[in-house]
Amino acid sequence: MLSIDDIVAGGLCIGCGLCKSIAGAERIRMVMTPEGRERPVAVEPLSREVLATINAVCPGTQIEGADPKAIPDDAETDLIWGPVIPSTLTIAHASDPVVRHRGAAGGVLTALGQYLLRSGEVELVLHVKARPDAPVRSVATVSETPEAVLDAATSRYGPAAVFEDLESVLARGRPFAVIAKPCDIGAMRRMAEVDKRARELLRYGLTLACGGASDLIKSLDVLKRFHVVEKDVSLFRYRGYGNPGPTRVETTGGRSFELSYEDMWGNESGWRIQPRCKICPDAIGEAADVVSSDCWPGGAPEGEDDGFNAVFARTRAGVSLFERAVTSGALTVVRSIGIRDMDLFQPHQVRKKRAVWARLQGMREAGMVVPAVERLRIADLAATNEESENEREKHGAVTRARAGRLGEPPAVAVG
Ligand SMILES: Cc1cc2nc3c(=O)[nH]c(=O)nc-3n(C[C@H](O)[C@H](O)[C@H](O)COP(=O)(O)OP(=O)(O)OC[C@H]3O[C@@H](n4cnc5c(N)ncnc54)[C@H](O)[C@@H]3O)c2cc1C
Ligand code: SF4
Ligand code: SF4
């Protein structure tokens, strides 16, 4: 069994906050580290029972694919993309032009969250938004109205502890959906296995394809570039208001600055993604009901467009939601696509999924702890690689692990 410090030092923590919710705020505190990551610190000893629960659900220790019982017979399981229901594999967007414009891409996740509230199927949507008092940072939010879901639209690329106070959501006893990153949705599914309330109340897990969560430093560097100090920021939007839309900073003094998507994310080596993301066996949401991603051929936008997502459902619940959202007019489908189109839209996901097994071998060889990975086909995928590719990935991981680049310093707080 791993301690909280072991998980963090092993580079396995993504800062979801679930351990804090399980142990209680009096035992675990989330801190912002000097590296710009939200990390848990145990301020009181944890009982064996609490630590065992955390080890069973933490997305740093356990990573699992879809529950086979949730997958309908007409799903096809692709070696890269996992279970996908072909009839739902489409280019789509939110029908409401405001949602489409303000959403990260086509606003599909926001439209689905709003649809679920309007239909009464869920009463709460748990997701994240910019922190009102510090908009460079992100905070978990529980939306009870379609307007609130819209307020939290678009991507928050930096740290975002969506489950920091999951306990209070469960305590309300009301049906809910989670919109979050793939690792978060996986953790939520495991939580449903150990917590009866989560099992009964969680109705949907909706996710995005995820290139990795960046360190807060990435966002603070944007401020530096414009000579803005964080306390003066009144708005920090990574994208949206267009597809992709600019990264926009506004200050309380009325100044505003914009960076293009290309400037912000054009160079993959400058993404500053967290260590856990570099070995992520599921950045494509295999435990989710519906996945919504960007759909730029080659993986990068050539300019602005009206807003489109590549969308697919994986589960019975997901296909039913997708179909009802289309029929009710919440979503507009532009055209059907094939699964190889997803490779074209997400080349970095394909590269990572193929490399992960060898990277984990390398970490193991360097004496690091690795997460338990199940139902994600990473060994099968590695078997389709050239032996030399696997060796290169493994050797790279051994080298990075020995240089300390796959682990993290112990979590200490800064401001
Ligand atoms: C860290 C990160 C990495 C990404 N990498 C890729 C990628 O590699 N490929 C790709 O196609 N797309 C990626 N995206 C997703 C992309 O930016 C769009 O969010 C996605 O296409 C969904 O678009 P949408 O218009 O349906 O979303 P919207 O309708 O704008 O809805 C987004 C929803 O996601 C929630 N959310 C946003 N950020 C977070 C977060 N950090 N944690 C939890 N919930 C969050 C919001 O609360 C909102 O409900 C990434 C997003 C994030 C946050
Ligand atoms: S990944 Fe989440 S549950 Fe695991 S240690 Fe980090 S904050 Fe806690
Ligand atoms: S790459 Fe994986 S671990 Fe990192 S934020 Fe995305 S889903 Fe989570």
Mean pLDDT of 254-270: 92
Q: What is the DSSP letter of 83?
A: E
- What is the pLDDT at residue 415? 53
- Rounded to the nearest angstrom, the distance between the alpha carbon of 19 and the centre of ligand 1 is 23
CB-based burial of residue 169 (10 Å sphere; 0-12 exposed, 13-18 middle, 19+ buried)?
Answer: buried
- What is the pLDDT at residue 383? 98
- Judge if the beta carbon of residue 211 lies within 6 A of ligand 1: yes
Helix axes 48-57, 182-194, angle to 10 degrees: 130
Compute the mean pLDDT over every residue in the chain, rounded to the nearest whole number.
97
DSSP codes of every residue in 170-200? HHTT--EEEEE-HHHHHHHHHHHHH-HHHHH
Q: Whose CA is nearest to atom 6 of ligand 2?
A: 13
Mean pLDDT of 200-215: 97
User: How far is residue 100 CA from its own chain's centroid?
Assistant: 20
Atom of ligand 2 nearest to the CA of 161: 7
- What is the pLDDT at residue 268? 82
Pocket of ligand 2 (CB under 6 A): 4, 7, 13-19, 40, 54, 58-60
Q: Whose CA is nearest to atom 2 of ligand 2?
A: 16
Mean pLDDT of 263-274: 90
d(CA 414, CA 192): 33
Q: Whose CA is nearest to atom 39 of ligand 1?
A: 156
Q: How confident is the model at residue 388 (pLDDT cuts 50, 70, 90)?
A: very high
Mean pLDDT of 4-14: 97
Q: Whose CA is nearest to atom 8 of ligand 3?
A: 183
- 345, containing H or E segment: helix 339-345
Ligand nearest the Cα of residue 157 is 1
Find out whether 151 and 176 touch, Cβ atoms under 8 Å: no
Atom of ligand 3 nearest to the CA of 277: 4
- Judge if the beta carbon of residue 346 lies within 6 A of ligand 1: yes
- What is the pLDDT at residue 411? 86
Q: How confident is the model at residue 412 (pLDDT cuts 50, 70, 90)?
A: confident
Q: Which residue has the higher pLDDT, 22 or 267?
A: 22
Ligand 2 mutation pick, 58, 162, 276, 277, max ligand atoms within 8 A of CB: 58
- Judge if the beta carbon of residue 160 lies within 6 A of ligand 1: yes
User: pLDDT tens, 105-161?
Assistant: 999 999 999 999 999 999 999 999 999 999 999 999 999 999 999 999 999 999 999
Q: Is the dihedral of CA 122, 112, 341, 335 positive or negative?
A: positive
Return phi, psi of residue 105, to 5°.
-120, -90
Mean pLDDT of 62-88: 97
Ligand 3 mutation pick, 7, 12, 13, 14, max ligand atoms within 8 A of CB: 14
Q: Which of 60, 150, 163 lies closest to 98, judged by CA?
A: 150
Q: Is the dihedral of CA 22, 26, 30, 34 positive or negative?
A: negative
- Rounded to the nearest angstrom, the distance between the alpha carbon of 411 and the centre of ligand 2 is 12
